[in-house]
Structures are given as structure tokens and as C-alpha cells.
């Protein structure tokens, strides 16, 4: 659905308006590095079990930093964990529980995409690691398609904390950014119109395709991933927030360039497996939110009864049911979707729960069966993949893949890698896509993808 003219987009939590300055950046970073008054390097290392994944943060908030140029620091266990994030770390949050992986015991950067091969090799590496005293857990991102290596690794240490970081964005610096869309809006609308010809042709069995576009942001100073993470966690504590260090890409990375990091806040649970319980929550069918509460509520109601969006959603819910059913002895897929919101969008959502038929089925086995869902690719999958290859003038790489963790017991939590950006020195490449069905309208898909960029734009300090 698109935004009617005349209604401003809803302001995004976490967007700030003050100009950027190197001094302010530096001060903000220093504040994030220091916790409880003790420099990070003087604090004893803590281990996997010291910060269990239970309960809210028990410690009181840190003393607010004085002075207008000092940014507030995130408080509590989550804030302390965030302060330990460094370039090269890996971060993943789900349900207000946060994982920070530092160092690398083993790279699992298989060239295989999500599939049975990756699942088998990763599970055996995790069991070997656990049997040899390692954490037996891998964190990272898996690509949308073949040709991009998995950015998955077993870290030296994995630290966990629960809770929220609070509202800490107000004092963080804003960066001046220069934005270039690729493809441009008119070209993206043209690609959607081309897809519609296929979707409306009677002799074509294509029913849905997801088409995306990018926005390249250039900033005057190198982007601080920890500041982005802080803003994302603060703006939406319930999102799947992540930062994954990506393997070097010889085709794009000039020698001596900084790391390449995938950062985002996804609203969509692709799959979680905890013991024999499986959950998923596909999203499809979206409407940009509006700052006027009456109009915002009207859009939510319109989305819930929009035939076009209900069709777009049903295609996804059916595919998830079909993929998970063979692995489950019990599977509940509600017949009618419900509403979910992020700071920028309304979505139709189907919360799916199942019980595994076999305890040997791992989260990666289930990912191999599920990915790519029609929330990110289309139906039929092969035809949609080909059309995406023809119409998208860039490589998605990790965008619309999976991001999360998995362990030696077969458990794992994976979000759909959306509402994200690839950060590399002073360049940030944002990604956004939208599901196209026969009843779609190109201009509305331009508006929807624009709203989807706003999660990452707000984290960059770009307001409405
Ligand atoms: C592809 C994206 O989102 C996906 C597409 C949606 C849609 O078309 O309605 C909704 C949620 C996601 O499954 C994105 O956010 O970039």
C-alpha cells in the first residue's frame, strides 16, 4: 500500500537533527566505551554463563553524562554488552536478548548458500567445537543466493545479556549524508510495471515476485557501527537487531579499506528452533505508517482488509506451511493474518508454531526447507529468482538472506535479513524490497520501499 499525498511519514524514533562534528562523534564513542566509570580494558573478561539469558537487566542505570556534547550511554546489561562491541564483532538481538561474539575460533564461510550442505557441515563443526571446549555456537549472516559466501563463524567468546538499552538516541550525533538511489525511483517503478506484465499474463504461472532497490549514503566521516546499533536498539527494542562483519570482497574492497559490516533491525522472524518447538512469523503485505494517529489507524484497518495485501500474504503463509509441515508432527498456521507494526510500517503477520517430528532436525535443516520464502523471493521460486536477476540492477548478497545464531544442539534463531545496510568506511548501502502481485501499483511500491529505508536512515541520523 502507498502513502496518500499530503500525509507526512511517521517520524522515526531515534532520528536526530543536530549537525555532525568529528568532536561530537568522538565524545559519543568514548561514552559508549566507558561503563560504570571503568575503562573497558580494565574490566575482567566475563564468560558465556556469567550473563544468563533470563530476566531484565538487574543493575541500575549509569549516571547520566553531563554537558550538551556528551551522549547518554546505554544502561544496564544490554548497554554494557553494547559497549563491548568492536569492529569485527558480531551482534544479534532477538526478543530483547542480545548476543555478542568476539574473535574467531572458526570461520564457517562456506561458499554454499542456505541448503542441506551448509546445514550438515555447520552442525558437524559446531559439535566438534563444543566437544573441544568451545562455545559450540555460530553467529552471522547467510546470503540470499549462491555466489556469496556465508558470513558465519564460531566466535572465541559469546557474551549474552537481556533487557533494553533505553532511549539513548537523543544526544547521539547526526551525520550529514548524501543519498543516491540505485535504481532511481522511476526505474524501480518501471521494473515493477515490467513484473506486472508477467503477473497479469494468462499464460504465465508467476504469482508473486519481490523486487528491491538500494540507496547509497555517503557520510563525511567513517560510520560508527556501534552508534548505529545503539540507535536501532533504542528505536525498536523488539526488532531483531544485528551487526555482522562480512568477509572481504575482492571484487569491491580496495586494499587498505576498512571492514564491511551488515547492520540492521529486522521485524521478521524467519525461523526459531528451541528443542522440539519451532516458530516462524512471516510478514507480507505492508503499509507505511503516518504521524497522524487517525490516519495511521485507518491505514492499519485498510491493510487488514486489503484484498491485494491478503493475497500477497496468503502466498507466503501457504509456502511456510508447506515447507515446515513435513518436519513437524504438529503445526499451527492461523488462517487469518494479524497486524504487526514497526516504527515505520504496518505489516500483515502469521505467527506459526510447530512441534518437530524428529529431535535431530536442526534450525539450519528447517532454513534449508524454508528459504527463500515468497516474502523475499516469489512464487514459483525459480521463475521469481530469474526475474529478480533480470530486473534488479545489483547483487542482493546478504539482503533477504538469514541472520542469527545456531548451536551444537540444533537450536537457533534466524531473522530475515531486511531493513539493513552494508557499511563500508564512509559508504552505507541501504536495501529495501516489496512483494509484487497482479494487483500491485508501481507508485505504491516506490512509497513502501521508501518507508522501509527509513529504519536505516534513522539510524544514520537522517530524520523525516
Ligand atoms: C523485502 C522486504 O520486506 C519483505 C516484504 C514485505 C512486503 O512486501 O510487504 C514485508 C516484509 C518482508 O517480508 C524489505 O523490508 O526490504
pLDDT at 76: 78
Question: How confident is the model over 288-298, as pLDDT tens digits?
Answer: 999 999 999 99
Decide if 8 is inside a domain: no
What does the chain come to in residues? 464
What CATH code is carried by the domain that includes residue 137?
Answer: 3.60.120.10
Task: Answer whether residue 44 shows pLDDT above 90.
Answer: no
Going from the Cα of 29 to the center of ligand 1, the distance in angstroms, rounded, reads: 32
Give the nearest ligand 1 atom to 316 CA.
13
Q: Are 419 and 266 in contact (CB under 8 A)?
A: yes
Going from the Cα of 342 to the center of ligand 1, the distance in angstroms, rounded, reads: 12
pLDDT at 252: 74
What's the average model confidence in pLDDT over 429-437?
97
Going from the Cα of 455 to the center of ligand 1, the distance in angstroms, rounded, reads: 13
419 lines ligand 1 (CB under 6 A): yes
Higher pLDDT, 324 or 45: 324
Question: Which range marks the domain in which residue 413 is found?
Answer: 23-166+177-459
CA distances from 234 to 72, 92, 174, 227, 464 (A): 12, 14, 15, 11, 17
Question: How confident is the model over 19-33, as pLDDT tens digits?
Answer: 232 333 222 322 332
Decide if 15 is inside a domain: no
Q: Percent of the chain having pLDDT more than 70?
A: 81
Q: Are 433 and 449 in contact (CB under 8 A)?
A: yes
Question: For 311, phi and psi rounded to 5 degrees?
Answer: -65, -50
ipTM above 0.85, yes or no: yes
Give the nearest ligand 1 atom to 373 CA.
13
Q: Which of 289, 283, 368, 286 is nearest to 324 (CA)?
A: 368
pLDDT at 312: 94
Instruction: Among 452, 453, 455, 456, say which to mutate for ligand 1: greatest number of ligand atoms within 8 Å of CB.
Output: 452
**What is the number of domains present in the chain?**
1
Question: How confident is the model over 132-169, as pLDDT tens digits?
Answer: 999 899 999 999 998 899 999 999 999 999 998 877 66
Decide if 171 is inside a domain: no
Decide if 12 is inside a domain: no
177: three-class secondary structure by DSSP: coil
Higher pLDDT, 176 or 3: 176
Catalytic residues: 208, 268
Going from the Cα of 283 to the center of ligand 1, the distance in angstroms, rounded, reads: 7
What's the average model confidence in pLDDT over 244-261?
81
Which positions ≥6 away from 326 have C-beta within 8 Å? 369
Q: What is the pTM of this model?
A: 0.86
Decide if 436 is inside a domain: yes
Task: Answer whether residue 422 shows pLDDT above 60.
Answer: yes
Decide if 254 is inside a domain: yes
Decide if 304 is inside a domain: yes
What's the average model confidence in pLDDT over 240-251?
89
Decide if 192 is inside a domain: yes
Amino acid at each position: 500500500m502507498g502513502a496518500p499525498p499530503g500525509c507526512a511519514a511517521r517520524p522515526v524514533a531515534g532520528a536526530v537533527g543536530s549537525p555532525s562534528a568529528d568532536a561530537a562523534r568522538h565524545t559519543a564513542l568514548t561514552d559508549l566505551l566507558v561503563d560504570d566509570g571503568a575503562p573497558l580494558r580494565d574490566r575482567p573478561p566475563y564468560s558465556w554463563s556469567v550473563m544468563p539469558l533470563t530476566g531484565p537487566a538487574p543493575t541500575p542505570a549509569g549516571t547520566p553524562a553531563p554537558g550538551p556534547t556528551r551522549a547518554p550511554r546505554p544502561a544496564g546489561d544490554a548497554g554494557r554488552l553494547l559497549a563491548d562491541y568492536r569492529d569485527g564483532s558480531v551482534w544479534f538481538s532477538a526478543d530483547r536478548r542480545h548476543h555478542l561474539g568476539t574473535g574467531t575460533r572458526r570461520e564457517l564461510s562456506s561458499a554454499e548458500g542456505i541448503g542441506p550442505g551448509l546445514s550438515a557441515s555447520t552442525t558437524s563443526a559446531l559439535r566438534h567445537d563444543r566437544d573441544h571446549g568451545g562455545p559450540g555456537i555460530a553467529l552471522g549472516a547467510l546470503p540470499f543466493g549462491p555466489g556469496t559466501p556465508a558470513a558465519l563463524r564460531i566466535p572465541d567468546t559469546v557474551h549474552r545479556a537481556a533487557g533494553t538499552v533505553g532511549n539513548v538516541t537523543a544526544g547521539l550525533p547526526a551525520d550529514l549524508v548524501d543519498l543516491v538511489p540505485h535504481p532511481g525511483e522511476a526505474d524501480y517503478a518501471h521494473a515493477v510495471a515490467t513484473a506486472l506484465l508477467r503477473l497479469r499474463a494468462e499464460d504465465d504461472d508467476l504469482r508473486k515476485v519481490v523486487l528491491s532497490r538500494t540507496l547509497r549514503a555517503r557520510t563525511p566521516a567513517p560510520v560508527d557501527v556501534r552508534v548505529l546499533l545503539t540507535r536501532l536498539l533504542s528505536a525498536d527494542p523488539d526488532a531483531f537487531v544485528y551487526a555482522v562483519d562480512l568477509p572481504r570482497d575482492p571484487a569491491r574492497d580496495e586494499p587498505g579499506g576498512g571492514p564491511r559490516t551488515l547492520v540492521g533491525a529486522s521485524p521478521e522472524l524467519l525461523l526459531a528452533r528451541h528443542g522440539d518447538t519451532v516458530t516462524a512469523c512471516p510478514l507480507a503485505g505492508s503499509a507505511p505508517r503516518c504521524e497522524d494517529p487517525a490516519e495511521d489507524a485507518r491505514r492499519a484497518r485498510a491493510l487488514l482488509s486489503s484484498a491485494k495485501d491478503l493475497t500477497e500474504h496468503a502466498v507466503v503463509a501457504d509456502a511456510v506451511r508447506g515447507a515446515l509441515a513435513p518436519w513437524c508432527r504438529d503445526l499451527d498456521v492461523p488462517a487469518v493474518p494479524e497486524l504487526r507494526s514497526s516504527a515505520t510500517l504496518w505489516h500483515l503477520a502469521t505467527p506459526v508454531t510447530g512441534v518437530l517430528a524428529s529431535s535431530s532436525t536442526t534450525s539450519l535443516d528447517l532454513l534449508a526447507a524454508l528459504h527463500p520464502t515468497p516474502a523475499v523471493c516469489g512464487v514459483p521460486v525459480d521463475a521469481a529468482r530469474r526475474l529478480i536477476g533480470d530486473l534488479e540492477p545489483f547483487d542482493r548478497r546478504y539482503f533477504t538472506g538469514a541472520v542469527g545464531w545456531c548451536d551444537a544442539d540444533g537450536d537457533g534463531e534466524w531473522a530475515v535479513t531486511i531493513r539493513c545496510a552494508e557499511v563500508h568506511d564512509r559508504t552505507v548501502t541501504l536495501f529495501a524490497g516489496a512483494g509484487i502481485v497482479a494487483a500491485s501499483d508501481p507508485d505504491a511500491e516506490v512509497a513502501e520501499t521508501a518507508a522501509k529505508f527509513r529504519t536505516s536512515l534513522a539510524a544514520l541520523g537522517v530524520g523525516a
